Amino acid sequence: MKDKVFNIKQHKALRKRLRGDMPHPELLLWQRLRGQQLGVKFRRQHGIGSYIVDFYCPEKCLVIELDGDSHYTDKAPNLDKKRDEYLSSKCMLVLRFTNVEVNEELDSVVGKITNAMGVMD
């Protein structure tokens, strides 16, 4: 039997809690991604393997991660690299943006996401 990769049952409560307690930058970006505004469906706080990604577009195999304060610790770069390598091994493209980018340059962030999806066609 094939291992389950998406939305592992053990993480359901955590995913739900994360969706209900999204940081402001995630809420801002979600307002621009939801409802197929970019022509494709995005999911928020989506489980992939043992990870919960901020946003995922199944049609494009695109993961969007927002890096807040927790990503600026000594261990974070290695953890982010390991996470990105796992997602890449599942044929997913990972785009990372900082909370500052989303707060100050939202249109630019959305443009980069749109451009990445166009390249993936």
Which domains does the chain show, CATH number per domain?
9-120 (3.40.960.10)
> CA 96, CA 35: separation in Å to the nearest integer?
21
Residuewise pLDDT in 10s, the chain (121 residues): 345 688 888 888 878 888 788 899 999 999 999 999 999 999 999 999 999 999 999 999 999 999 876 656 677 788 889 999 999 999 999 999 999 999 999 999 999 999 999 877 6
The sheet with strand 62-67 has its strands ordered as: 43-48, 51-57, 62-67, 93-98
**What pTM did the predictor assign?**
0.88
Cα–Cα distance for residue pair 48/114, rounded to 1 Å: 22
Contact 45, 52 (CB under 8 A): yes
**Other Cβ atoms within 10 Å of 106 Cβ, number:** 16
pLDDT at 1: 36
Helix (H, G, I), strand (E, B) or coil at 68: coil
